[in-house]
Amino acid sequence: MLPLAYFKAEPTEYVIAFAGGTPRRQGTGLAFWYWKPTTSLVLIPTGTIDALFALNDSTGNFQPITLQGQITYRIAEPSTLAQLLNFTINPRTRAYRSDDPAKLNGRIINVVQTYTRSALQQLGLEDALRGAEPLAQNVMAQLASDPTLAALGVAPMGLFFTSIKAAPEVTRALEAEYREALQQRADHAIYARRAEAVEQERKIKQNELSTAVDLEQRRHDLVALEGTNAREQAEFAADAARIQLAPYQTLDTRLMLALAFRDFANNAHKIGNLTITADILEQALRQNAGENGSAA
């Protein structure tokens, strides 16, 4: 087997070739031949890395809480990290020869937990449960200037909490309280709707009553007006009749009878039967004679 081998790194991999304990070549995405018996290869990823975590902590009011989230980071100083952790690989399989690369995530998560705990001490349970985004922003701001990460050559890129949960019994209590609040709001809405319906019904009844009163008032005014008109009409008719009969008041009864018979004759076609007896004429004439005698 030849002691020479060829190695090619990916564009997101930083490779360092050590020979005799001294770095012979290093850089991102290098491709080269190396002497296998005396060369060790260190391979450090330079792309973004996502590290999932789950933390158990407590809030400022001593309530246990569980947080799940993810931090995204990149190795900004590969040569610095190579001096602190063993990233040596098997060139043939590209597998790491130690568990140091796995320890890196643990160290970063420990830093995240430290700042998360500090931030949670300033929050009550309900604020913590509602404030995933502000909490992540707070922790991220402190990670950006953390000396431990800077010493490792690590640059945090982003942090978010996917889940923040209280203890199961506390969660049930909060859910019960929230359900009760929702039920109260629903009851208030029902009562308000009923009150509004009653108020609308009252307004409708009041409008109907006002309309009825107005109609009755108009009817009263109409009846009064009709009575006044009828009375005036009767008075006008009576005055007209008096004026029409005034000339006949001084006439002789016999003349009146003559005029009456003339009218009978003129309207004979309209009269069916007319009976005038001698008694009627005699009584009329006698009454006329008596009136004339009294006048004399």
Using one digit for the tens of pLDDT, what is the confidence trace for 190-242? 888 998 899 998 899 889 888 888 888 988 888 888 888 988 888 888 888 78
Looking at the fold, whether 140 and 238 belong to one and the same domain comes out as no
User: Is a pLDDT exceeding 60 seen at residue 248?
Assistant: yes
Of 47 and 176, the structure prediction assigns the larger pLDDT to: 47
Looking at the fold, whether 140 and 201 belong to one and the same domain comes out as no
The reply to whether 277 falls in a domain is: no
Looking at the fold, whether 18 and 101 belong to one and the same domain comes out as yes
What is the per-residue pLDDT across 96-148, written as a single tens digit (0 to 9) for each? Answer: 999 999 999 999 999 999 999 999 999 999 999 999 999 999 999 999 999 99
Percent of the chain with pLDDT over 90: 54
Q: What is the pLDDT of residue 289?
A: 60
The reply to whether 187 falls in a domain is: yes
- Domain's final residue, options 118, 135, 166: 166
Q: Is the distance from CB of 71 to CB of 125 less than 8 angstroms?
A: no
Looking at the fold, whether 88 and 36 belong to one and the same domain comes out as yes
The reply to whether 175 falls in a domain is: yes
The reply to whether 95 falls in a domain is: yes
The reply to whether 220 falls in a domain is: yes
Looking at the fold, whether 85 and 127 belong to one and the same domain comes out as yes
Q: What is the pLDDT of residue 151?
A: 95
Mean pLDDT of 23-32: 95
What is the per-residue pLDDT across 145-202, written as a single tens digit (0 to 9) for each? Answer: 999 999 999 999 999 999 999 998 988 888 787 788 888 888 888 888 998 899 998 8
The number of distinct structural domains making up the chain is: 2
Looking at the fold, whether 157 and 187 belong to one and the same domain comes out as no
- Domain's final residue, options 135, 166, 197: 166
Quote the domain boundaries for residue 135: 4-166
Confidence class for position 1, pLDDT limits 50, 70, 90: low
Q: What is the pLDDT of residue 277?
A: 74
- Domain's final residue, options 122, 148, 166: 166
Looking at the fold, whether 199 and 240 belong to one and the same domain comes out as yes
User: For every residue of 253-277, which 3-state class applies, written as one string?
Assistant: HHHHHHHHHHHHHHCHHHCCCCCCC
Q: What is the pLDDT of residue 159?
A: 97
CATH number, domain containing residue 108? 3.30.479.30
Looking at the fold, whether 30 and 41 belong to one and the same domain comes out as yes
What is the per-residue pLDDT across 17-27, written as a single tens digit (0 to 9) for each? Answer: 999 889 999 99
Looking at the fold, whether 13 and 144 belong to one and the same domain comes out as yes
The reply to whether 281 falls in a domain is: no
Percent of the chain with pLDDT over 70: 91
Looking at the fold, whether 147 and 200 belong to one and the same domain comes out as no
Looking at the fold, whether 132 and 184 belong to one and the same domain comes out as no
The reply to whether 54 falls in a domain is: yes
The reply to whether 293 falls in a domain is: no
Looking at the fold, whether 207 and 220 belong to one and the same domain comes out as yes
